[in-house]
Chains A and B, each alone.
Chain A
Amino acid sequence: MTGVRDETPVIEARGLRKTFGDTVAVDGIDLRIDAGRIVGLIGPNGAGKTTALNAILGLTPYEGELRVLGRDPWRERDTLMRDVAFIADIAVLPRWIRVAQLLDYVAAVHPRFDRARAEHFLERTTIKPGVKVKTLSKGMIAQLHLAIVMAIDARLLVLDEPTLGLDIIYRKQLFDTLLEDYYERERTIVLATHNVDEIEHVVTDVIFLDRGRIALRATMDEVESRYREVRVHPSLESAARELVPIHERESLGQRIMLFENVDAERLAALGEVRRPSVADLFIARVGDGAGGGSQR
């Protein structure tokens, strides 16, 4: 990505909270997402990802302060949607509509929709303009929806569990398209998922949500520099624990410990050091409650 970026955050939340009766879905989170980032919003089922996104997209009222592209999403949803495109967690394209009708409609109501670009995306697929959505497979529906949102010159793109129910080919195509588009345009992408592995090499930032709270917020560069995983030599386990690992697990008879902000040379003396995967970090922070729920 090139060019001078606007300093105004794309998303800024202070004390964002949403309850359903006695259930707290989002528990007063503070959040800032700057322009040009690809943010992975990661959490287990029920962590509050979709609720937080619904608030960001103006689909649900909330408590606290929230600005998206400088607007109040709840009060200004329709105006905001000129600059925001999103795909909800489950296919939402109506089954009765024809592909051409969908393109006609979006072209008519969306000032930033480039129909030629959508058709260009669709030319790479087997989707024909005259067919109805109900005749398409789940993967083809995802391709169609993606072609539409990619053809919208939106400043913010939000995808909620975009690969749910898709096979490996469609998942790969989706992320390839997403990255290709990201490098072509100045836009910010928020990807919510509980499938940590598949977005690890796509995102620039990760936010872990657990029980409505942010358990970790970091750039991928920070993850790389701050965290180390060590396959600890059995005789050095006690010494390793003195460095206060944030998580421990056992693999093939050896203890694997995860450290935060510990000098790499000291860790190298304990065993084999490597960068933890986002999934490892997620399990450490959220998975078994070790550190889960604490704000960083």
Chain B
Amino acid sequence: MIRHFIWALRRELWENRWLWLAPSAIAAALMVGFIAYAFRLPGTMAALLALDAVHLHRAVAEPYEVVTGVMMGIGLLIAVIYCVDALYGERRDRSVLLWKSLPVSDLETVLAKLCIPVLVLPLICWALTVGLQLIMLAVSSAILAANGSSPAFLGAETRILPNAVGLLYHLVALHGIGFSPIYGWLLFVSAWAPRAPLAWAILPPAAVGVIERVAFGTNRFAELLIAPITGGGGTAPQAARGGGLMEELMSPSPGQLLITPALWIGLVIAAMFVFGATRLRRAAQPA
């Protein structure tokens, strides 16, 4: 039922305020760092404008791309921490008994929890990243204008709003849906682990990777984990192309992604883990 699902999502955001507070704090810290950098801009204007187009673009866009990368990384880290505790935490504090005294199914609850890393966190990180970049642009433009330099080139070089579309796609489709088997695994472990769910979540896959590396000298298992966002090639998207940020964010394209077997196999695996987590929660006793 949609109403139950929406309220279950709302409950997650009440309980885990750090889901938006932590990335907001990181964004604020990045903002402070950028302001310090921006005050040095007027002094470097002459050198900047002497650069060729490629180097000028790189020099201007780099802080914005760093912000994008940091916020993406933070989003992934928060998603992992959230998933590991999502079903374990309610057993640890015994609140699972309260939630299960209400007419909300285990599946509705688990799907709402899966929705946090797949949709909600990407949207939070996207909104914060784009918002932060717009503020950065406004601050640097104001500083340049106050020092008698024209800030017009900043907007052209940073292309914040066009890139925002690519970033939204990248965060939701690749970091969200693409990593759903990993989130599914983490929720499954969170529903099952008698204690120390983080260790149970990380150590078995890490052991598989290490054993494979030692025995065969390959990294196929690790490549498999990021296959949905690399098209199965095992290479991170930004390393595969020499194009701009928009091209990197939109790769693989929606069309390519939809015909990537790894995506569909991953979704099936995610569904299996969600099913398992739901069954485990059904019989869950306080940890």
Contacts and interface: CB of A to CB of B under 8 A. Distances in A.
Interface in B1-33: 3-4, 7, 10-11, 14-15
Given A60-B283, A94-B98, A108-B3, A78 B103 contact: yes
Interface in B76-117: 90, 93-98, 100-106
B219 interface: no
A108 B7 contact: yes
Most chain A C-beta atoms within 10 Å of own C-beta, residue among B3, B94, B105: B94
A207 interface: no
B103 A79 contact: yes
A145 B103 CA distance: 16
B4 A109 contact: yes
Contact of B285 (A60, A87, A97, A110): A60
B164 to A, nearest CB: 33
Interface size class of A (residues with CB under 8 A): 20 to 34
Contact of A81 (B94, B101, B282): B101
A81 B103 contact: yes
B105 A78 contact: yes
Most chain A C-beta atoms within 10 Å of own C-beta, residue among B7, B10, B14, B102: B102
Contacts of B102: 81, 106, 109-110
Nearest to A83: B103
B3 A109 contact: yes
Interface size class of B (residues with CB under 8 A): 20 to 34
Nearest to A86: B101
A90 B98 CA distance: 11
Given A78-B103, A86-B101, A109-B103, A97 B15 contact: yes
A232 to B, nearest CB: 48
B15 A85 contact: no
Interface in B44-102: 90, 93-98, 100-102
Given A60-B283, A105-B11, A93 B98 contact: yes
Most chain A C-beta atoms within 10 Å of own C-beta, residue among B3, B98, B100, B285: B98
A77 interface: yes
A92 interface: yes
Given A78-B104, A78-B105, A81-B102, A88 B14 contact: no
A111 B106 CA distance: 18
A92 B100 CA distance: 11
Nearest to A82: B103
Contacts of B97: 59, 88, 92
Contacts of B285: 59-60
B94 A90 contact: yes
Q: 8 tightest A-B contacts by CB?
A: A94-B95, A88-B97, A78-B105, A81-B103, A92-B97, A108-B7, A92-B94, A92-B98
19 contacts: A59-B283, A77-B282, A78-B105, A79-B103, A81-B101, A81-B102, A87-B101, A88-B98, A92-B97, A93-B98, A94-B15, A96-B15, A97-B14, A98-B14, A105-B7, A108-B3, A109-B4, A110-B102, A149-B101
Interface of B: 3-4, 7, 10-11, 14-15, 90, 93-98, 100-106, 282-283, 285
